[in-house]
A and B are shown apart, each in its own frame.
Chain A
Amino acid sequence: MPSASPISSVNDFVVRFANVNGSGSASANELFARAILRMGVPVSPRNIFPSNIQGLPTWYEVRVTEAGYLGARGGIDLMVAMNPQTFDKDVAAIEPGGYLLYDSTKPIPMARFRDDITVIGVPLTAICNKTYSDPRQRQLFKNIIYIGALSALLDMDVPAIEKLLGEQYKGKEKLLQPNIHALHLGRDWALENLRCPIGLRVKPANGVGNRIFVEGNAAAALGAVYGGATVCAWYPITPSSSLAEAFTRYCSRLRIDPDGNKHKFAIVQAEDELASIGLVIGAAWNGARAFTATSGPGISLMQEFVGLAYFAEIPAVIFDVQRAGPSTGMPTRTQQGDLLSCAYASHGDTKHVLLFPEDPTETFEFAADAFDLADRLQTPVFVLMDLDIGMNHRLCRPFAWDDTRKYDRGKVMHEVELDAGRDFGRYLDVDGDGIPFRTYPGTHPSKGSFFTRGTSRDRYARYTEEGGAYADNMQRLLRKFDTAKDLVPRPLQANAEKATKFGVIYYGSTSPAMDEAIHLLQANGRTLDRMRVRAFPFHSSVTSFLADHDFVFVVEQNRDAQLRTLIVNECGVDPVRLVPVLHYDGTPITARFIAQTIGEHLAALKVTPLRKVVS
């Protein structure tokens, strides 16, 4: 008997699958998550994978959460331990009172288990070997067999799983029956030999609604299709590669000219990130909507070009799926580590527009918006995602599109206006918003052409190295950046019921964990106003939020408090009033971490004001 009483929970627990990379477990594990969704119970799955093709450990975690908390929770209630390499660590990671499902074909010494967990052995290899002779089949069906066993142990809806398999193997019926057979092999064995269900159960509920289950990288790609991108240049890098690949996939479905099967898009896998951004800048200079997708190291390589695009005022959209870095290892882990390298990318005085989507649906929206913003502001726009959003399926609002929406191509002067005698100065601020007009190459035989360079030019794009002309241009670029503050997505604020002197600012993938943390804090009688920042430059409401609170926690997933630095820099606030809450070990931030850290700070603040401690 376990020394801790077994955890008992319906529709609220965490299952983690420990597998070997390349063993075909991913699709079986995803099937498990989807089956629970089909039962109307929200899930939040996460891949924890190595930089490797085959052989290294990989994990897949499914948080089952009827309450709809989609952030990582921390802690594991049921471990499906399928990887001998990590067995001991996996067993140690289980919460007291939790459960272990393992392959009991080979006896494992008792010492390797724990007495405070429930150990469930299923002879998976033995069942497989008895049924299948082909080694590949043994490997693949073993995964489905453990899903079958889990369906019995967790009291899952079998028809839902069968229906999902049917959808997965539509048109490949030959594969369907063997999969259903394997599912029942596992299920039947469990029903006959184990006490089912265990303390963790899935019960049909009504918590999913019309939400969709999608990865952020696919959502970004779809947003680029809807946003009118025609040129994509990219270089493979985890975790962004699947974004460009999804764009290719969507374009081959949605952007084929019916007349002659020609492509209304051009995608180039470039030789490196320098070329990727160069292609994007060339295409955008020439009037096409263009983007690249990359991650931190790619951003580093693009710095010189990004500066040129800033000064030459060329629209470019850059999706940065952030990861820890550099080199190998941590790059398959999530982080919000590129804020500063994007915000101030390049040499000289530069500032860039950043968008921070919280989930795949907002990524879709911001992706499409980014092309409008880039054209309107004639400047690079970064969509800062991260691995947690990009490479995990997330339950989110369905995508929506307003068919009356028109692309905002910004201030472009065409042949008609030039012929009508309108004055064209490429860097002339005609409207006072800092945004000049541009012309596309090839517009007019004798008017509107100009020579694009970096900074050494006057308002009419004539070459000059005069300091006055340079400073004049730099001032205008600042005006343009001010204009951006009211064009980018506004921060979203949610106030506590009662007025409080404490606030919290967060952004991006921290969002679901933060929502949950607020509830955890409330349960302990601690209330905070919160603001989700959705873009840089900051809207004036950010400064107001800072003014309204004595202390503002800034929650982020990096070591150096990069958003806090940006706020200090741009909003002129006393840094002491901004308390960093930082999570940066490569795992997604959890509500437990946020609530605990903020709770400790609040307790400390009650004893001694932080202002006094620091000064």
Chain B
Amino acid sequence: MTYIAKPKFHHPGLPKNELGYTHRDYEGKISTLCAGCGHDSITASIIEACFELSIAPHRVAKISGIGCSSKTPDYFLGNSHGFNSVHGRMPSVLTGANLANRDLIYLGVSGDGDSASIGFGQFAHAIRRGVNMVYIVENNGVYGLTKGQFSATADRGSKSKRGLVNNDSSIDLVAIALQLGATFVARSFSGDKHQLVPLIKAAVDHQGAAFIDVISPCVAFNNHVGSTKSFDYVREHNEAVNRLDVITGRAPIKVDYEPGKVEVVEQHDGSKLALRKLNHDYDPHDRLAAMSFLQQHAAKGLVVTGLLFVDSDPEDLHQHLNTVAAPLNTLTEPELCPGSSVLEKINAGLR
């Protein structure tokens, strides 16, 4: 529960984006998570990404499940509608919302327990349907609110704070997302805002199922020696394959990479992704190669981060269903109800 009201005043000279909004317009309530929680850094990155993209804050629908990560939508985009649904079921609620109004931006926020355990099925099916969304998993390998049990993304052999060893294989949601056909797959680290913010921006611009797994250490229950999701461990084992910048008509180009080493990927909506390759063996357009690269590095104990796969011309669920351009929730009686004369004909056919 928030006991502290957020002060309303702010610096008069705060920079404004193209729509005239400041950073503050993308903020939400004060976080109730633990001080130093990785999730709060992700919240900050979401705010930064939406500010930089000049998104009208109310055009985003934030949907989450249950858990520490799922609480965070209350802490950003305070002028957006949010939905704290039931544990593991964010993907179905988001899919339904998306069907009702294809014009909003859908931001699904979930955790490793929410998406890899109780909601593993819903995660998989939303991805394979190609729902146009940004699906962020704030992955800390542990159940925080229930005080430190392992989640399904905890690596085999990693130790809990109480010293227990996890003997079960871990689920790598990135590998699964690649296998199930996500058209944008990335991994990042909550402690690396410079990597994460452009990834979120690119995912928002991507008109298909975009998945970002963000390793986000739990300072209370999973930041000790023996954990593979601690700040120190991830910093030491982070293998970033590329650095990204997002170029849209709305945001200024900020590529400071050396010329010649930057690959520009044009997305379907006209936005461009400037990719600086850090690993020359890595091709983010080759799904199979990405899967193989990921597995090989995982075997060496390395956490591969960056934009791992992107399909620059994705399809989404609405295309598959061939729905009208107007949001379904705006259709009214004349467009929906066939009327009495049609019904008379139907009656005649039933005699």
Contact = CB atoms under 8 A, between A and B. Distances in A.
A465 B32 CA distance: 14
Interface string B312-345: 0000011001111100110111011111101100
Interface string A461-473: 0011100000000
Contacts of B122: 271, 274-275, 278
Contact of B329 (A263, A274, A276, A440): A440
A454 B71 CA distance: 13
A267 B328 CA distance: 12
A257 B324 contact: yes
B81 A449 contact: yes
Contacts of B337: 225-226, 228, 401
Nearest to B321: A266
Contacts of B2: 463
B82 interface: yes
A81 B94 CA distance: 53
Given A279-B99, A286-B61, A441-B97, 15 more contacts: A212-B350, A214-B350, A225-B336, A230-B331, A255-B336, A266-B99, A280-B96, A282-B97, A285-B96, A401-B337, A401-B340, A403-B339, A442-B104, A443-B58, A454-B84
Interface in B96-135: 96-101, 103-104, 121-122, 124-125, 129
A174 interface: no
B58 A282 contact: no
B81 A282 contact: no
Contacts of A210: 347, 351
Nearest to B322: A263
Contacts of A287: 100-101, 329
Interface in A403-455: 403, 405-407, 439-446, 449-454
A132 interface: no
12 contacts: A210-B351, A212-B351, A231-B99, A254-B338, A257-B324, A260-B324, A285-B93, A400-B340, A443-B58, A449-B81, A451-B82, A451-B83
A442 B81 contact: yes
A282 B340 contact: no
Interface in A283-309: 283-288, 290, 304-305, 308
B338 A263 contact: no
A253 to B, nearest CB: 9
B93 A272 contact: no
B89 A264 contact: no
Interface stretch (B72-80, B151-159, B165-173, B274-282): B72-80
B212 interface: no
B176 interface: no
Contact of A282 (B78, B92, B124): B92
B58 A444 contact: yes
Given A272-B121, A288-B99, A400-B343, A264 B328 contact: yes
A402 interface: yes
A399 interface: yes
Nearest to B87: A304
A445 B343 contact: no
B56 interface: yes
Interface of B: 1-2, 29, 56-59, 61, 63, 73-74, 78-86, 89, 91-101, 103-104, 121-122, 124-125, 129, 317-318, 321-325, 328-329, 331-333, 335-340, 342-343, 346-347, 350-351
Q: Which of B91, B321, B336, B342 has the most CB of A within 10 A?
A: B336
Q: Which of B29, B63, B79, B95 has the most CB of A within 10 A?
A: B95
B95 A271 contact: no
A210 B351 CA distance: 8
A262 B346 contact: no
A282 B94 contact: yes
Contact of A283 (B89, B91, B96, B350): B96
A254 B79 contact: no
Contacts of B98: 282
A414 to B, nearest CB: 12
Contacts of A225: 336-338
B96 A231 contact: yes
B294 to A, nearest CB: 25
A212 B63 CA distance: 45
A401 B336 CA distance: 13
Given A231-B100, A265-B328, A286-B329, A226 B338 contact: yes
A355 to B, nearest CB: 20
A397 to B, nearest CB: 10
Nearest to B57: A445
B1 A465 contact: yes
Interface residues of A, number: 73
B1 A463 contact: yes
B61 to A, nearest CB: 5
A312 B100 CA distance: 18
A262 B322 contact: yes
B93 A442 contact: no
B328 A230 contact: yes
Contact of B78 (A406, A442, A449): A449
Nearest to A316: B96
A288 B324 CA distance: 14
A449 B76 CA distance: 13
A288 B321 contact: no
Interface in A156-215: 210-214
Given A222-B346, A400-B340, A233 B58 contact: no
B93 A262 contact: no
Given A278-B89, A286-B97, A286-B329, A264 B335 contact: yes
Contact of A464 (B1, B78, B324, B336): B1
Contacts of A442: 58-59, 61, 81, 101, 103-104
Given A264-B331, A403-B340, A441 B84 contact: no
B322 to A, nearest CB: 5
Nearest to A456: B1
A212 B347 contact: yes
B117 to A, nearest CB: 14
A93 B10 CA distance: 86
A226 B343 contact: yes
A226 B331 CA distance: 13
A268 interface: yes
B325 to A, nearest CB: 7
A268 B95 contact: yes
A231 B79 CA distance: 26
A308 B85 contact: yes
Contacts of B95: 268, 275, 278-279, 282
Contacts of A305: 86, 89
A24 to B, nearest CB: 23
B54 to A, nearest CB: 13
Nearest to B350: A212
A286 B100 contact: yes
A262 B338 CA distance: 16
A225 B78 CA distance: 36
B236 to A, nearest CB: 38
Contact of A441 (B101, B321, B325): B101
Contact of A451 (B73, B97, B332): B73
Give me the 7 closest cross-chain CB pairs, A-B, nearest first: A282-B96, A278-B92, A288-B100, A441-B81, A287-B329, A279-B96, A286-B100
A213 B346 CA distance: 11
A270 interface: yes
Contacts of A464: 1
Contact of B97 (A254, A276, A283): A283
A47 B343 CA distance: 27
Contacts of B78: 449
A401 B103 CA distance: 32
Contacts of A279: 92-93, 95-96, 99
Contact of A288 (B29, B93, B101): B101
A452 B96 contact: no
A48 interface: no
A22 to B, nearest CB: 26
A345 to B, nearest CB: 14
Nearest to B121: A271
B318 to A, nearest CB: 8
